[in-house]
């Protein structure tokens, strides 16, 4: 073996200690170029094709639509609400009321509330991989949000941007290029644009659909299922099969139908369908009439489709949570729900940090600037109330939660936050209820225990005068 042959063998099979990096003639080559920045891997054409296919699936695949819908349903629910944490309780209440009034019509078009904007943004993360929120002032100098879909931000043929994003020398976004229907564009200053996406790489500039890895799986499933449905229909149309050793069936054959003409062949399916149940069919010794039984779809085919769906759900939410939980039980159900809850919590964090918190600062900051709210110290401090977390055993967890609150292991604020409630609002209502109960007990001169006891039940039904 000469030197050139040795070099060729080393290039083909590799000589390094990392087996995964060694090439083999029995293994296919990995597509793609050498490792590079994510902004060069996810080019404008690749991202556009991913978005096109993902939008097709969300319109035509029930499984894809269920995954997207579940993420928005459990992560956003009826909306993630801010709760002010400044040292002034009165200012906190006023700021929250101001934000709630604004949230009824948050979109620049006046069509969507802030809760609906959160839903649209959450669905866009899974379908398009990203959404852009432009913070603007309308003609009445009121703060509004302009939701911009992924296909509206892009290149216009110039080399100034990377897929519609203009970056400075350190990679910081400076402007986003908004494309219009007439072929023009407008550069939006990055300081007023919220780019909502889940980053997978430090060098990532644009987002890709969450189910990017399963797009081909789901498209193949739809094609295979369509072909199998056609096959089942064709098989269902065949009721009986005539087996014969003869090369043909003459005009005097057993399936001759009275009134049939030369234009109507005795073996024509339309003619054979005129043979109805309860009739005797005479057969020659070399003929055999059998009922046709189809084995489609087979259990193997349905198992294959389930494999495609399971692999498609990986990386988003568990398949058992989204589609079929019949095969898991006990600890398996708790594991599935816990994994799904972590995914929902992660999506909530992305929405809060990239969209909801900046929106709170935008709306409340505008109210302070215009004099609608007084400036206070630490007005930027805010927390957020998310929807109630999912659970498997509601009774057991509720009992443990009450014990944690009574023992001081958990605060009331944490308790209400897990239920998707606001601590200040709930305690305000509780105080009002307590005051009303005390007033009723004094008015009718009955013990308070007859109206309400925190531990439940009544110890005495004998009315006692108030102290």
Tokens of 121: 């943004």
Please state, in angstroms and rounded to a whole number, the distance separating the CA atoms of residues 398 and 384.
22
- What is the phi-psi region of residue 27: left when phi exceeds 0, alpha when psi lies from -120 to 50, beta otherwise? beta
Range 292-308 average pLDDT: 79
Which residue's entry shows tokens 């070399």?
A: 286
Predicted local distance difference test score (pLDDT) of residue 368: 95
Q: Are 289 and 281 in contact (CB under 8 A)?
A: yes
Secondary structure class of 208 (helix, strand, coil): coil
Predicted local distance difference test score (pLDDT) of residue 247: 59
359, 350, 348: which is closest to 134 by C-alpha?
Answer: 359
Task: Give kind and range of the element (H or E) at residue 398.
Answer: helix 394-407
User: How far from chain centre, in Å, is Cα 358?
Assistant: 23
Predicted local distance difference test score (pLDDT) of residue 153: 94
Positive or negative: CA dihedral 209, 198, 42, 310 = negative
Strand positions, DSSP E, 217-315: 240-244, 287-291
- Which residues does residue 178 pair with via DSSP β-bridges, in sequence order? 153, 186
Q: What are the pLDDT digits (tens) for 403-415? A: 777 777 777 777 7
Q: Across 90-104, 159-173, 273-287, 433-447, which has the greatest mean pLDDT?
A: 90-104
Tokens of 454: 């925190």
DSSP 215: H
Residues 6 or more apart whose Cβ sits within 8 Å of residue 175: 161, 165, 166, 187, 188, 189, 190
Range 346-372 average pLDDT: 95
Tokens of 162: 């990377």
CA distance readout (Å), 208 to 41, 56, 131, 199, 426: 11, 15, 11, 9, 40
Is pLDDT above 90 for 32? no
Q: Are 317 and 325 in contact (CB under 8 A)?
A: no
Range 166-192 average pLDDT: 91
Q: What are the pLDDT digits (tens) for 217-258? A: 999 999 988 888 888 888 777 777 777 776 555 555 444 545
Report the DSSP pairing between strands 382-385 and 173-179: unpaired
Please state, in angstroms and rounded to a whole number, the distance separating the CA atoms of residues 28 and 43.
25
Phi and psi torsions of 366, nearest 5°: -65, -40
- What is the phi-psi region of residue 378: left when phi exceeds 0, alpha when psi lies from -120 to 50, beta otherwise? left
Which residue's entry shows tokens 């225990």?
A: 449
Q: What are the pLDDT digits (tens) for 137-146? A: 999 999 999 9
DSSP 356: I
Greater confidence, 347 or 281?
A: 347
Secondary structure class of 359 (helix, strand, coil): helix
195 exposure class (CB count in 10 Å sphere: 0-12, 13-18, 19+): buried
- Which residues does residue 84 pair with via DSSP β-bridges, in sequence order? 382
């Amino acid at each position: 073996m000469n030197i050139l042959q040795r070099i060729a063998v080393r290039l083909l099979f590799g000589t390094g200690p990392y087996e995964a990096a060694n090439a083999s003639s029995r293994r296919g080559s990995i597509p793609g170029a050498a490792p590079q920045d994510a902004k060069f891997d996810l080019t404008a054409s690749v991202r556009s094709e991913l978005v096109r296919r993902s939008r097709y699936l969300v319109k035509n695949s029930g499984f894809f639509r269920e995954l997207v819908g579940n993420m928005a349903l459990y992560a956003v629910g009826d909306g993630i609400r801010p709760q002010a944490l400044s040292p002034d309780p009165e200012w906190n209440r006023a700021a929250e009321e101001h934000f709630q009034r604004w949230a009824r019509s948050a979109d620049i078009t006046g069509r969507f509330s802030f809760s609906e904007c959160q839903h649209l943004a959450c669905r866009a993360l899974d379908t398009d991989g990203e959404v852009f929120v432009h913070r603007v002032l309308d003609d009445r100098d009121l703060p509004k949000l302009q939701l911009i879909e992924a296909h509206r931000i892009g290149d216009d043929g110039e080399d100034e941007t990377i897929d519609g994003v203009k970056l400075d020398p350190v990679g910081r976004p400076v402007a986003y290029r908004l494309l219009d229907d007439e072929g023009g564009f407008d550069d939006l200053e990055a300081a007023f644009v919220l780019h909502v996406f889940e980053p997978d790489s430090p060098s990532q500039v644009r987002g890709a659909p969450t189910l990017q890895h399963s797009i081909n799986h789901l498209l193949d499933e739809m094609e295979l299922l369509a072909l199998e449905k056609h096959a089942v229909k064709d098989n269902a149309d065949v009721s009986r099969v005539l087996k014969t050793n003869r090369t043909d069936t003459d005009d005097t054959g057993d399936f001759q139908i009275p009134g049939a003409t030369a234009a109507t062949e005795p073996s024509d399916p339309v003619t054979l369908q005129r043979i109805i149940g309860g009739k005797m069919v005479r057969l020659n010794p070399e003929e055999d009439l059998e009922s046709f039984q189809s084995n489609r779809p087979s259990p193997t085919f349905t198992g294959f489709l389930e494999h495609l769906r399971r692999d498609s759900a990986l990386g988003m939410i568990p398949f058992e949570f989204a589609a079929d939980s019949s095969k898991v039980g006990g600890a398996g159900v708790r594991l599935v729900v816990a994994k799904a809850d972590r995914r929902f919590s992660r999506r909530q964090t992305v929405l809060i940090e990239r969209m909801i918190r900046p929106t709170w600062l935008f709306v409340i900051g505008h109210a302070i600037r215009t004099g609608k709210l007084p400036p206070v110290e630490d007005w930027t401090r805010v927390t957020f109330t998310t929807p109630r977390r999912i659970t498997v055993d509601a009774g057991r967890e509720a009992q443990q939660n009450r014990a944690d609150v009574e023992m001081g292991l958990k605060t009331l604020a944490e308790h209400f936050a897990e239920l998707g409630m606001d601590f200040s609002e709930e305690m305000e209502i509780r105080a009002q209820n307590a005051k009303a109960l005390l007033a009723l007990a004094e008015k009718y001169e009955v013990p308070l225990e007859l109206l309400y006891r925190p531990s439940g039940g009544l110890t005495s039904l004998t009315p006692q005068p108030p102290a």
